[in-house]
Amino acid sequence: MESSTRHLKNSIERLPSKDKLLLAAVKKGLFIKIESDNFSTPMEDFSEKNCEKRSYSIHAAKLKDIPRLLFIEKKCWISLLRLTRDELICRIKQYPQGQLVVKIKNRIVGVIYTQRISDYDNLSNNITFKNVSRLYDSNGKYLQLIGINILPDMQDRGIGEQLLQFVLQWSSFMEGVEKLVCVTRCKNFSAGSKITLQEYIRRHQESSKGIDPILRFHTSHGAKIIKIIPNYRPHDYENQGAGILIEYDLAKNLNDRSPALKSVFDPNIHKNISDIISSCIQSLLPKQNKKHYSKQRPLREMGIDS
């Protein structure tokens, strides 16, 4: 009896977490559909009818990807706002599971940078986008979305918005993570404007549709603007060096008020969804449970706690 109990305990400890199951799926280009009124789809609904095959996949970033990531930095940011090779290496080594690359036909076209932090108030304590890795806490209750970068020639496909929705879903599955935070910037504010940055943000909040595209990218998905962080990007002169702290409350279901996304799906790649789901689930099952796998059996019976 004691041996059986120990075996059961060891099996439970090896069960894949919901966020790992999701990462295994997106690595194969399979995404759980995000309903318009709920980004946190229950994992027991990880079925063919609730999944969709996309034309891109998401993978953990590797050190060998650094040259491509530097190329994306060059394409997406002015020179003074780019990350260096050493800074990228630091991110990947420090929190490898939180740095994700987006691939289309094995070509990296985008990247997601994240880290866990314990308190977002610390972002105001002499922290810039260059040294924000100092705040990393492996058990932090906040997931900081440091950035989503997509190559300019891919930005008209709606991928950026879908990646934000993915990060919201992924972070909601992470044990111990309560909120998603981000330090963003304004796209259309000018340092030479006759109004202050604070006034510009206020006008955005009072507008039904929002006046700034980047702020709208977040607020249209339920983000709340918290405050301005001075000197977060000192060389972002158009934003007077400041960053704007925003917060998503993962305990609530976010209402996606954005218009329908432009499809990036290939209608010819949906036919293998069932096989991909099966492959993802089997890759995460404890070894002794693989023989019990069946498409007709509930995940709980096969050792995956939803």
State percent of the chain over pLDDT 90: 61
Q: Output the pLDDT for position 44.
A: 54
Q: Show the 3-state SS of 75-100.
A: HHCCHHHCCCHHHHHHHHHHCHHHEE
The distance of Cα 138 from the centroid of its chain, to the nearest Å, equals 17
Q: Which residues lie below 8 Å from residue 233, measured CB to CB, with a gap of 6+?
A: 81, 128, 129, 185, 239, 241, 242, 243
Q: Dmax of the chain from CA atoms? A: 77
**More confident of the two residues 265 and 237:** 237
Burial class (CB in 10 A: 0-12, 13-18, 19+), 214: middle
- Per residue in 248-301, pLDDT (tens digit) is 998 764 444 333 333 333 444 444 556 666 666 666 666 666 666 666 666 656
- At residue 2, the pLDDT reads 55
Q: What is the model's pLDDT at position 260?
A: 34
Coil, strand or helix at 6? helix
Q: How far apart are CA 27 and CA 34, in angstroms?
A: 17
Is the pLDDT at 228 greater than 60, yes or no? yes
State the pLDDT confidence band at 12, using cuts at 50, 70 and 90.
very low
Give me the helices (H) in the chain, please: 2-13, 18-26, 66-76, 85-94, 159-173, 197-206, 213-219, 273-284
Domain 114-257 has CATH 3.40.50.720: no
pLDDT, position 52: 87
Q: Which of 302, 282, 288 is nearest to 28 (CA)?
A: 282
Distance CA 232, CA 72 (A): 21
pLDDT tens for each residue of 67-79? 999 999 999 999 9
Per-residue confidence (pLDDT) for residue 306, from 0 to 100: 46
- CA–CA–CA angle 140, 144, 146 (5° rounding): 145
Secondary element (H or E) of residue 53: strand 51-53
Ordered by start, the domain boundaries in the chain are 114-257
Using only C-alpha atoms, what is the Rg of the chain? 21
Q: To the nearest whole number, what is the mean pLDDT of the chain?
A: 83
Alpha-carbon distance 115 to 94, whole Å?
Answer: 9
Give the model's pLDDT for residue 62.
98
CA angle (213, 267, 34) in 5-degree steps: 45
Tell me which of 183 and 50 has the higher pLDDT. Answer: 183
pLDDT for residue 33: 77
> What amino acid occupies position 270?
H
Average pLDDT, integer, range 82-99: 97
Give the whole-angstrom CA distance, residue 68 versus residue 65.
5
CA 237 from centroid of its chain's CA atoms: 27
Q: Quick check: 244 pLDDT over 80?
A: yes
Give the model confidence (pLDDT) of 41-53 as tens digits.
555 556 667 788 9
CA separation (Å) from 294 to 19, 116, 271, 300, 302?
22, 36, 19, 12, 8
pTM value?
0.77
Q: What percent of the chain has pLDDT over 70?
A: 72
Q: Please give the average per-residue pLDDT across 133-159, as a whole number.
A: 95
User: Which pLDDT value is given to residue 269?
Assistant: 45
pLDDT value of position 191: 86
> Lowest-pLDDT range, 5-19, 194-208, 281-295?
5-19
